[in-house]
Chains A and B, each alone.
Chain A
Amino acid sequence: MIDLFSDLFNDYTLRTVALGSALLGITAGSLGGFALLRRQSLLGDAISHAALPGIAIAFLITGSKAPLVLILGAGIAGWIGAALISIVTTRTRIKYDSALGIMLSVFFGFGLVLLTYIQRQPDANQAGLNSFLFGQAAALVEQDVFVIFVIGTLVLLFMMVFWKEFKLLSFDSDFIGTLGFPVRLLDHLLTTLFVIAIVIGLQTVGVVLMSAMIIAPGAAARQWTDRLGRMIILAGIFGAISGVGGAITSSLIPALPTGPTIVLIVSIIVMISLLFAPNRGLVFRKIRDWQAGKRLRVDAVLVDLYTLASQHASAEYPHSERVLDVMSTISGPARRTLKVLNDLELAKPIDSTHWSLTPEGVLRAERVIERQFGGGS
């Protein structure tokens, strides 16, 4: 373990891959958080797929395999894809998700056709264009990481400067228009930052898997907090953890590709968040529902006992379980709930089948009734 930690700093490859992947995770995760809130998560998927023909065309035009050139091509294609989706949605009857699907398939298919054509050209495979499908994180060198760092920092800087504008834009785009802010411009700006965040990561996890890095960290972060600032920061952190985790894991196991490993880790984070986050997590919700159900049944039987007893002289007049079973509108035998009441010392068994309220139980029943029928909340 200590070896691993020192490796992280001393071993060039691990350090570089981990840093590059972490930076990518932070940038993609943060912007993906905003995309999530704007219901644009799948747009990230469409943009990253749309980037493929851009990479191919950039190579065909310039003949260069420099990452910056290819990333620029990817960015332009991705932006065009996003713009087309917007145009199609507003000008035609085609719905948003259909437009996404169409753009994604058409662009990606076109990209594959171009790649197939390119593979027949001599020297073309030198560009390693195919590696943009699934990324080649292990081949990151310091220059690549430097580029990711500079661009990523710029993107995050813009995000922070325009924080309140982006917040309101995501929450209520009509309202922000009435305040005098140029809505279209802000939307384009946020989309551009989004596209940039996506394309700088393409050499790490590739076109096909990039959507996971956009969607997952934000979705996971949403589960843990109700404050926008914390959510975006947490999304960045989750992205970083996935990046570093993926690098480390694939450094421990030979022939384990880094990009897919990163995506696996972020997926695990999402699963854990969906299940176990307090408040929003499924497991906790189930527990809370179950607890609420129990409380409801307890209150119901308590009130039933009280109501039955009210027809007799004493509020502690005993009644049989059967009667309670019949009275109760909540399914399930009353016996179980009566046992709980017994534990809470609100009811006691008189004999094997009859139960009555304790004085404490009487008070409680009265309070429940008052709460239900007396005041409003």
Chain B
Amino acid sequence: MGINNKHAMDYAIDIRDLTVAYREKPVLWDVDLQVPPGVLIAIVGPNGAGKTTLIKSSLGLVKAAAGSVLIHGRPYSEQRANVAYVPQRGSVDWDFPTNVLDVVTMGLYGRLGWFKRPGKAERIEALKSLAQVGMEEFTTRQISQLSGGQQQRVFLARALVQDARVYFMDEPFQGVDAITERAIVDLLQDLRKQGKTVAVVHHDLQTVPEYFDHVMLLNVRRIASGPVEEVFTEENLRTTYGGRVAFVSALSAANRT
């Protein structure tokens, strides 16, 4: 690979040449992404840009045609304990017969390994995470009875309980009320302050400058990535979104203020 090991160690997330094809159509093409530790990065792009695929193929959930993913200098497969995943809310059937505490406890199954059942220690951990997202009152609530924002917080707690160094989140703000959104942003920035790295697929361009310090613009290929002030420009956005000028200008105007 020819990566200078010293440089590799500098990045929390180091994705190189990632290519994913679906029936010969490229979904991700030769994508590179280097994210230094302690960064909150948004991944944005139009529909079909491959944002979810980027996460899924990095985590080995989707087969990549080519490319490598290093987490803190080591291949992802060796670093699972240090990586936590928050999937899209819609990827799960919320009518499943289980309660809030149970879902959060599931985040500890990796640590428990085969056959061991979760016990008192796991329960305490789960409750701690629930408190972090403000859901400690809801432990026995059926997940079908939760609002969108509450569901999202449960998913977050499930990731938090893993105590990872790197977090991948897929549209955590989708369909969530304003209060929950604010709470989640605070939580993410808290994580960043602790030196964790958080990569978030984000759908709302308006809030990128406000919530995130880095951003990656993706449309099958990597258009640009890096600190928001440098990368979130009108030109880059136009390249990514295909030149809907008014919309894009309004955005970069908002960005500059």
**Chain A residues in contact with chain B, CB under 8 A?**
37, 39, 161-165, 167-168, 170-172, 174-181, 222, 225-228, 231
Contact = CB atoms under 8 A, between A and B. Distances in A.
A39 B92 CA distance: 12
25 contacts: A37-B96, A37-B97, A39-B93, A162-B115, A164-B112, A164-B117, A165-B114, A168-B106, A168-B109, A171-B92, A174-B61, A175-B85, A175-B87, A177-B59, A178-B80, A179-B80, A179-B107, A181-B109, A222-B97, A226-B97, A226-B142, A226-B144, A228-B96, A228-B97, A228-B98
The 3 A-B residue pairs with the shortest CB-CB distance in the complex, in nearest-first order? A179-B110, A178-B85, A180-B80
A178 B97 contact: no
Interface of B: 56, 59-61, 80-81, 83-85, 87, 91-93, 96-99, 103, 106-107, 109-110, 112, 114-115, 117-118, 142, 144, 158
Nearest to B108: A179
Contact of B115 (A161, A167, A170, A222): A161
A174 B56 contact: yes
A222 B118 CA distance: 24
A225 B87 contact: no
A164 to B, nearest CB: 6
A188 to B, nearest CB: 16
Given A172-B91, A226-B142, A177 B60 contact: yes
A228 B144 CA distance: 13
Given A171-B98, A227-B98, A178 B61 contact: yes
Contacts of A39: 93
Given A37-B93, A174-B56, A175-B85, 5 more contacts: A172-B106, A181-B109, A226-B99, A227-B97, A228-B96
Nearest to A91: B23
Nearest to A170: B96
Contacts of A180: 80-81, 110
A226 B145 CA distance: 11
Contacts of A171: 92-93, 96, 98, 103, 106
Residue picked from A163, A172, A179, A227, most chain B C-beta under 10 Å: A179
Given A174-B61, A179-B80, A225 B106 contact: no
A216 B256 CA distance: 61
B98 A177 contact: no
Contacts of B115: 161-162
A174 B57 CA distance: 11
A287 B86 CA distance: 39
A231 B61 contact: no
Interface of chain A, main secondary structure: helix
Contacts of A179: 80, 107, 109-110
A154 to B, nearest CB: 16
A165 B109 contact: yes
B226 to A, nearest CB: 27
A175 B60 contact: no
Nearest to A225: B97
A168 B91 CA distance: 13
Residue picked from B83, B97, B110, most chain A C-beta under 10 Å: B97
Contacts of B93: 37, 39, 171
Contacts of B98: 167, 171, 226-228
A176 B109 CA distance: 8
A224 to B, nearest CB: 10
Nearest to A377: B147
Contacts of B117: 163-164
Contacts of B84: 178
A178 B162 CA distance: 11
A26 to B, nearest CB: 19
Nearest to A33: B97
A93 to B, nearest CB: 8
Nearest to B86: A175
A164 B60 contact: no
Contact of B59 (A162, A168, A178): A178
B82 to A, nearest CB: 11
A163 to B, nearest CB: 8
B83 A178 contact: yes
B241 to A, nearest CB: 28
B60 to A, nearest CB: 7
A172 B92 contact: yes
